[in-house]
Structure 1
């Protein structure tokens, strides 16, 4: 295959933000004296807030509790971003430079909201690197549904066989598979299972390795 377009996930792939969200969830639950087992956050990595909130409505005993929990979570996230705790993943800048040099198109397709994506890109100093963004508020369903990736592929105006998705999560990989678009996994909080390794085009240790991978398959 020859890759002419890359679809980027954002949280956990471009930014070390999943750890911040998990930290914010734990602190919010502690303040509200709510149970928050270790697997609560991981099961929704890469998925939309709607799926997570539906689960928390039941786990926390109603929408009012969930809404307060999410409000505290976002307050903490905003504080962490404002104070410089949001870090770019190693190799991101070099990969973006390489894509621009090779004239490989790129787009973000994230289960996050457009406002938060923009905030993170500004905080990371890369708001000028992406002219195309597909956020969860642009589609009917977030990951693991394929909507985000199908919309991104349409906006790239490239056939699926020329597009590659970069993901870190099981939900993202499921969405890529449902969209029938090849996917590379760069793990973050969740280490890939044998099944994930079989479904992904490859599992790579970091974004620098993605650059090396593209150099091999495109030449």
Structure 2
């Protein structure tokens, strides 16, 4: 039986992956480096340090990771300030069901703690998470298993007792490596057959996760 649920954040709980693509394109226009949407989709879930190294190669010498991050954060923060947090359908009902069943939730994200906690607070769900692991608080980031192993440990559980909810290939790979139960809720792109084979289940919304809680 599932005894804990580990949540990714961007693209899973909040519709921030689309916002991040817009922010990347804004940063590229502002700072003069080329952006490629397929590359940006591929790097979803990477931590900032790994992302910077990868994109230096992909986007060329005009790419400045520090200035790019500042431009992206400014764009995203302004959008959220104007429109509120773009909460994914089913998040509130799933968290309510987990609380009803006494199943603790933990956040396991590559996003920095300050940004992640700000997002949770804006969405009104900060108190729904018993534990959190953010950004570079683990030695290796996704697709390494560290973030999920640590999140499970903070809940006092074995990884095998935890369901992981993810939207990205890097996240699913990390969940598999950790020995968790990987469930994909696709966001910007659908999984191919190889990725589906790594998942215990693929569902179209967070609300559909509720039906899976008694199946594993």
Fold similarity call, TM over 0.5: yes
Aligned-partner SS, 1:107: strand
Q: How far apart in 1 are the matches of 2:126 and 2:179? A: 29
**CA distance in 1: counterparts of 2:211 and 2:177, whole angstroms:** 26
| 3-state SS of paired residue (2:2) | coil
How much has 1:58 moved relative to structure 2? Answer: 2.9
Confirm or deny: 8 A CA contact 2:104 2:129 kept in the other structure.
Answer: no
Aligned 8 A contact 1:60 1:66 in 2? no
**What is residue 5 of structure 2 aligned with on the other side?**
6
Q: Would you identify which runs of 4 or more consecutive aligned residues in structure 1 move more than 6 Å? A: none
Aligned CA-pair RMSD: 1.5
What count of residue pairs does the alignment treat as equivalent?
A: 216
Q: How does 1:114-133 map to 2 (within 5 A)?
A: 114-133=113-132
SS in 2 for 1:128: helix
Q: Is the 8 A contact 1:160 1:180 kept in 2?
A: yes
Aligned pairs for 1:157-168 (under 5 A) are 157-168=156-167
Query: Corresponding residue for 1:113?
Result: 112
Could you tell me which runs of 5 or more consecutive residues in structure 2 were left unpaired when the two chains were aligned: none
When normalised by structure 2's length, the TM-score is 0.94
The aligned runs of 1:138-217 (5 Å cut-off) are 138-214=137-213, 216-217=214-215
CA distance in 2, matches of 1:70, 1:149: 25
The worse-fitting range, judged by mean Cα deviation, of 191-200 and 31-40 is 31-40
TM-score (norm 1): 0.93
Gap regions ≥5 residues in structure 1 = none
Give the aligned partner of residue 46 of structure 2: 47
Match of 1:100 in 2: 99
Q: 1:81–1:123: 8 Å Cα contact kept in structure 2?
A: no
Residue 35 of structure 2 contacts residue 59 of structure 2 at CA under 8 Å; is this kept in 1? no
